[in-house]
């Protein structure tokens, strides 16, 4: 048997939340910010920093990869969306089937224009049902500064799960470090032992 809690949001109990505490609920939509790198980059660009210096800072802090293109192009987020949709909505979808647009084309000017409209730009991951089929997307989206996604700062992330019986349930992971991933692995191991 394999468990997979750390595949999305480090050790935050997203899959366990649904499996253990939302039993009998049907998940109808998933939305979130699932990539720390892009969230950090967009936030730092909004502060007026240069792209190269933001990347260098993230690499120095250890959470931006030597080649950040998988994050910037949205592939990491697409893989996480696919995992969520497959487990929570039985989608049978691959990352390549996610409608994906990364943040590489976002300019400082677009960020300033969004701010002038009282919005911020975030890389939003979404999965929903359209015409009876589960579909997913990863796209830069303007969100109001008063919304939950706008409050997700730095390397934090969140996911909102909409269900038929419990409505929308949201969970936020604040500034994760390696300990959170380690915790997720530990809990998966404990759950595996409990299944034996």
- Per-residue pLDDT reduced to its tens digit, 138-169: 999 999 999 999 999 999 999 999 999 999 99
Nearest residue to 161 via CA among 5, 17, 8:
17
The DSSP symbol for 66 reads S
At 1, the pLDDT band (50, 70, 90 cuts) reads low
Q: What is the CATH number of the domain that holds 44?
A: 3.30.360.10
At 46, the pLDDT band (50, 70, 90 cuts) reads very high
Q: Going by C-beta distance under 8 Å and a sequence separation of 6 or more, which residues neighbour residue 165?
A: 22, 24, 25, 26
137 within some domain: yes
Residue 94, pLDDT above cutoff 70:
yes
87 within some domain: yes
42 within some domain: yes
192 within some domain: no
2 within some domain: no
Give the C-alpha separation, 142 to 149, whole Å. 10
10 within some domain: no
Query: Has 133 been annotated as catalytic?
Result: no
- Per-residue pLDDT reduced to its tens digit, 8-28: 998 899 999 999 999 999 999
Overall number of domains in the chain: 1
Q: Directed axis angle between helix 108-116 and helix 36-46, to 10°? A: 70
Nearest residue to 98 via CA among 112, 118, 77, 121:
77
C-beta neighbour count of 31 within 10 angstroms: 23
1 within some domain: no
104 within some domain: yes
Full residue range of the structural domain in which residue 68 is found: 27-164
Radius of gyration of the chain (CA): 17
Residue from 23, 47, 49, 80 carrying the catalytic annotation: 80
């Amino acid at each position: 048997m394999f468990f997979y809690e750390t595949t999305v949001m480090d050790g935050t109990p997203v899959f366990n939340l649904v499996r253990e505490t939302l039993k009998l609920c049907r998940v109808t939509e998933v939305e979130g910010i699932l990539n720390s790198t892009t969230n950090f980059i967009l936030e730092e660009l909004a502060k007026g920093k240069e792209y190269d210096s933001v990347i260098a800072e993230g690499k120095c802090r250890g959470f931006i990869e030597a080649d950040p293109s998988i994050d910037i192009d949205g592939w990491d987020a697409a893989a996480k969306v696919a995992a969520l949709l497959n487990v929570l909505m039985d989608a049978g979808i691959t990352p390549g089937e996610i409608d994906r647009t990364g943040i590489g084309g976002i300019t400082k000017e677009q960020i300033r224009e969004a701010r002038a409209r009282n919005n911020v730009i975030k890389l939003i991951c979404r999965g929903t049902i359209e015409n009876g089929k589960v579909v997913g997307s990863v796209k830069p989206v303007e969100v109001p500064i008063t919304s939950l996604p706008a409050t997700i700062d730095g390397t934090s992330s969140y996911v909102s799960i909409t269900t038929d019986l419990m409505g929308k349930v949201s969970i936020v992971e604040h500034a994760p470090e390696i300990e959170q991933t380690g915790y997720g692995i530990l809990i998966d191991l404990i759950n595996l032992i409990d299944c034996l």
